[in-house]
Chains A and B, each alone.
Chain A
Amino acid sequence: MLIGIDLGTTNSAAAIWQEGAARLIPAGADGALLTPSAVSCDAAGATWVGTPARDRRAAHPADTATSFKRAMGTNTLFHLAGREFRAEDLSALVLRALVEDIAAETGTRPTEAVITVPAYFNDRQRKATRQAGELAGLTVRRLINEPTAAALAFGLQDKGDREPFLVFDLGGGTFDVSIVEMFEGIVEVRASAGDNRLGGDDFDRALIALTAPHLDPEGRLAGLPETRREALLARAAERCRKALSSAAKADFTVTLDGETQLSVTVGQDEFEAACAPLLDRLRDPIVRALRDSDIAAHDLSEIVLVGGATRMPAVRKAITRLFGRFPNAAVHPDHAVALGAAIQAGLAARDAALDEVRITDVCPYTLGVEVAEPSPNGGLQKGLFSPIIERNTPVPVSRVQSYSTLSDGQKQIEFGIYQGEAREVARNIRLGEIRIPVPARPAGEVDVDVRFSYDSSGLLEVDLHIPLDDSRHNLVILDEEDREGPESLAARREALAALKFHPREDAANMALLARAERCYEDHIGPVRQNLGRAITRFTGILDTQEPRLIAEARDRLSAQLDAIEGSSPL
């Protein structure tokens, strides 16, 4: 079975293509459709993923990881309860949880997946995502850009023709803009641009910075361990930001211990002013995408919002101002990407219901090699970028460019391979390099044809050909990230498999316990004392191992928590 997965910064979701429609798969026992992208461990090796992990962050901040998508493709290590994880490992755990959910829902264990990535994810980040899928035991059939997936979900609502529309995808950690057109069943991405360092998390940070001078006059937060302080502030910010989406004012509240709560009231206007620098950063990718597709903003037929952070009134206001009209909120901002991924899965599986649908995407950034050029004042200017595939070229694409040697008797050429838009390679992202031997000849007499092939998943292949001696080289990118062989991949998969997960029915109890602990951390006074007693009672009943008693106690505690939190679980 081929599934679609939205592997998000804050939340992830899985969907399947079934009977001619995309459908989201509920996560875990409580029927929620989103799985928080969070992983938590304890010293005994027990591992929580999703809602319980996010809830555990309150009580165990140092052993819980969130927003790790931002570290994809880097060497950042997360230390959870004495174990080391890379972002791919943590993502793999989230993917595995989603796979379990699908297996439980459909009775079949999926083996292949379409996974979404931000359009502006670079080659390294894409490779890391693919690796996460493999670590979770999935064959990644294709990576699809998130705004493209959302455009599929939006465009296929009625399958009618659409003049170019803009998908505005502001997620927890990344921002993407795509301009998409639909005609005759073809969903055509005209251009994409983005900022892979801008998302809802940044707005949370702005909120924390805004409240910092007033929140804690006595400096009590400073005495806490850093991870705990950060976890407390992040949670307070997330809550406050969500509340500000529907109210003019909201409290930014941090619960320190049983007696103390720090609280500041934040107004919508203040928050908006604090976000101004972030809102300014929305403009540049939009302008770039419009310029590249040669479409004027007023010619766009719709502005489609995707991503949880587009719920913020400040963001919606900025969009309305930029485009002079109200955005379209017709698709569910948290579900569209996963649904689009499932549609792509249906396409990849050549499902008959999608026979008349095709999607074409673009490569959102420029790819090229490092060159030297004679400079006007007689020297040699090195470190320049020579584009081979220009950004927003339709993919798949294969392009060739010729280069020649620059010194007499040169025996080797080194090609640095880069991605980016700067004239100097130093400002671009280095993807790898290839060195090839060349026949020794006078300068300029040896030509090398460099072919870049970029596939639909956004992965790059480089082939070199020297016509002079007809030698060919296929690039094995000498990249630190890629040095690992298959053995070490297998070893890491095993290490992840060795982590202990709670059996499914047990998982519901653990999730509830984590939620109760989070609730305990959030409250003070009698409510907290009651909760403390309830938790002790519940753990006592768990020890009896009596399924009937446990089920009853679970319902009781769950109802109690609902009452305290004043809302349903999600």
Chain B
Amino acid sequence: MSETFPWSALGIAPTSDRKAIRKAYAAAVKAMDIDAEVEGYARLRSARDQALALAREAPEDAVSPPVFRDVPENGGDPVPGDEAASSSSSGFWPLAAPRLLRPLSEGSVRAAPQTPEPAPGRPSFETIFPDAPADTPIAATLELGPHQSLAAPTLSGYGEIEAALGLIPGQSACERLEAVLTESDAPELAEPERIVALRALQAAIGEARSEGIDRQEQVEDWLAGLLATHWPRSAPLLETATQAFGWHEEWHRFDARPAVRFIGARLRGARFRARVEAPGHRYHAAWRELNRKGPAGPFRWLRASRDDVQFVLSGLRANFAHLEDELDPRRIASWNRPVIWPRVVLGLCWLALLANLLGLSWPFGSPGYELPDGTQIELAEDGPGPTLFGEYVETAVAESLGQGHDLAWLWERDAELARRIVAQVRASLDSGGGAEGATRAAVNLVRAATHAKGHTLSGEAREAAMRLRLDQLRAAREMAPATCLALLHEGQLPEQASAFAEPLRARERAAAARLAETPLLAESRGEEDTSVPIPGALIDAIIARTGLPDTAVREALQNEGEDAPRCDVAIALLAEALNWDGDPAAREAILRAL
């Protein structure tokens, strides 16, 4: 284009006067029949737009673009070049090509040699897994610009105290959510964190909903970026956010925002996994097989059909590449090797014979452990067998909930917790923790769950839960201040800590068993106002009880200083709040916060 392009087409001298530009454009449009002069009109439009852009840049710096919209996507969609240019010259997209056709003589016009159509009778991956996007696989990480917090903290009078406790920071819901997601590098949100994060997310969505569309968009953009950058920690939040903002409508669009597309691929991956992990799914066996550790032996075809495994694997690669990263590459590699039949048959005979002779169980595919609802849990090949594993689970349950309770009992009352205990035992065994480690991990898990659940109760039951909490904190303080803080913030004892003494353990078990019988906590329970004022009388009492100077108490409440005073102050606050007969609402709020 000539140097004078926009101005020559508009028939005016270069100017930064928007009105003059629009006037010239209007005159030119009125002088032409745009339906007859399509190219001329396109040229005039782009001249006008360019002139206006130049005029806008002239007086002041251009406004910086929104954070996420301009981030180039990994792998990159081909983006058409300059609109103005592509209408006159033929823009060519290097990646775009027409659908491949075989020469007509071969009859079919649709088949492509490289990727054979699925055999008849086998529906496509997309049909079986409707969430599967025929997308370019999304890279494992997403480069996103730094995102800024949206809102200034909404501190109430005692904001710094709440912040100091690290439990209910005096922050906006958005900031709280960001804090929960960023405060640790752990790949998963621990149980109490998950609940806090989910509530913060719901609050943030609720706040956005009551605002105007500009603000909603801002929050939406920000949230998409936050959740995408903090995946996989953000995994339990994706579904809620997606439903709230309709991202499922957007993520398959070719111009979807990178963060939304990223979230979409992750969420669909999770849905795919949930579906295929359900026993009875057409590809359940193939999925289970791919999830085993170590290379597959020559008998792999007995556990899953080769076609099925290949089908799942190729679908996985095309759609949820990040899921493949979680599988053992050795396992995948061995499935990519051809099976050598004669050896297999021979080996099979030998092994069958051996197995019979030794009275062993069938050696192909490790046997599963059956959950009370009939679901089979896959066990590690080199781990304990189903019987032994079952014993470990029962030990863990009895140790967590007291003698006389078994998995079947718990399953009836709180299947979710039961499932998690089994998973925890399995994970501990897999990571070499042994039976003892498995039991300790289960006890810790139940402790955290009991505490989280206790929070949702009211009246006597909560009172009892909080008194137990107080004694747990005290016992942990006896061990080490750090242990106490770990319990306070994560609801769990650190791995290396020794167990609580027997009388306290008995109370924990009784509480856990009692709570297992009360209905599950409702996650949707909206978070009320999270600013908790702590009355001066209580602060005085804390000073008296701990014997710490006023400044130290304040420091501890700001989450600063040594572990020991921080722990002591938290214990004192809980103890004083429990014994306090002041304003019931304020007391309730403090207990809820702890």
Task: Mark A residues whose CB is within 8 Å of B.
Answer: 183-186, 280, 283-284, 286-287, 290, 296-298, 321-324, 356, 358, 360, 366, 369-387, 390, 393-394, 396-407, 409-416, 421-424, 426-427, 435, 440, 444, 448-449, 453, 455-456
Contacts and interface: CB of A to CB of B under 8 A. Distances in A.
A427 B210 CA distance: 32
A424 B91 contact: no
Nearest to B256: A423
Contact of B213 (A286, A378, A407, A414): A286
A440 B103 CA distance: 9
A377 B95 CA distance: 14
Contacts of A435: 109
A409 B246 CA distance: 45
A380 B100 contact: yes
Residue of B112, B126, B210 contacting most chain A CB atoms (<10 Å): B112
Given A373-B95, A412-B109, A380 B114 contact: yes
B30 interface: yes
A372 B134 contact: no
Given A372-B97, A456-B35, 6 more contacts: A185-B26, A322-B212, A323-B212, A360-B29, A398-B39, A412-B104
Contacts of B98: 369-372, 403-406, 413-415, 448
27 contacts: A183-B26, A184-B22, A184-B25, A184-B26, A185-B26, A186-B25, A284-B246, A290-B213, A298-B212, A360-B29, A372-B100, A372-B112, A374-B95, A379-B318, A380-B100, A381-B318, A398-B38, A399-B87, A403-B96, A403-B98, A412-B101, A414-B109, A416-B99, A421-B255, A422-B253, A423-B135, A453-B38
Given A398-B42, A453-B38, A422 B254 contact: yes
Given A396-B35, A398-B38, A406-B97, A421 B213 contact: no
Contacts of B318: 375, 377, 379, 381
Given A186-B26, A384-B134, A403-B96, A287 B103 contact: no
Contacts of A448: 98
B137 A376 contact: yes
B97 A373 contact: yes
A322 B113 CA distance: 52
Contact of B212 (A324, A402, A405, A416): A324
A421 B253 contact: yes
A389 B80 CA distance: 10
B23 A400 contact: no
Interface residues of B, number: 60
Nearest to A394: B45
Given A184-B26, A186-B29, A290-B213, A376 B136 contact: yes
Listed residue (B95, B99, B134) with the most chain A CB atoms within 10 angstroms of its CB = B99
A448 B543 CA distance: 83
A102 B214 CA distance: 45
B114 A379 contact: yes
B35 A321 contact: no
A371 B41 contact: no
B9 to A, nearest CB: 15
A129 B136 CA distance: 38
Given A183-B22, A371-B96, A426-B134, A421 B210 contact: no
Given A371-B99, A375-B318, A400-B90, A297 B134 contact: no
Nearest to A410: B101
Given A286-B213, A414-B109, A455-B35, A402 B100 contact: no
B252 A423 contact: yes
Nearest to B97: A406
B99 A297 contact: no
B100 A399 contact: no
Contacts of A387: 80, 254
Contacts of B135: 423-424
A407 B101 contact: yes
A287 B29 contact: no
B454 interface: no
Interface string B496-524: 00000000000000000000000000000
A109 B468 CA distance: 89
Given A358-B29, A358-B30, A375 B136 contact: yes
Contacts of A322: 212-213, 216
B184 to A, nearest CB: 33
Contacts of A423: 133-135, 252-254
Given A410-B101, A413-B98, A396 B41 contact: yes
Contacts of A356: 30
Contact of B112 (A286, A370, A380, A409): A380
Nearest to A406: B100
B54 to A, nearest CB: 16
Given A358-B30, A382-B112, A410 B100 contact: yes
Contacts of B99: 370-372, 382-383, 406, 413-416
Given A185-B30, A401-B93, A448-B98, A376 B112 contact: no
A402 B249 CA distance: 30
A252 B96 CA distance: 56
Contacts of A397: 38, 42, 87
B214 A296 contact: yes
A75 B134 CA distance: 29
A324 B96 CA distance: 44
A444 B249 CA distance: 35
A78 to B, nearest CB: 31
A448 B75 CA distance: 26
A424 B136 CA distance: 11
B551 interface: no
B254 A298 contact: no
Contacts of B134: 381, 383-384, 423-424, 426
B317 A403 contact: no
A51 to B, nearest CB: 37
Given A184-B23, A376-B136, A405-B98, A411 B103 contact: yes
B113 A407 contact: yes
B330 interface: no
Given A360-B34, A398-B87, A455-B35, A283 B317 contact: no
Interface string B247-261: 001001111000000
A373 B90 contact: no
B102 interface: yes
B103 A409 contact: yes
Contacts of B314: 379
A322 B211 CA distance: 7
A427 to B, nearest CB: 6
B91 A401 contact: yes
Nearest to A398: B38
B98 to A, nearest CB: 4
A203 B512 CA distance: 48
B254 A385 contact: yes
A187 to B, nearest CB: 11
B212 A414 contact: no
Nearest to B34: A396
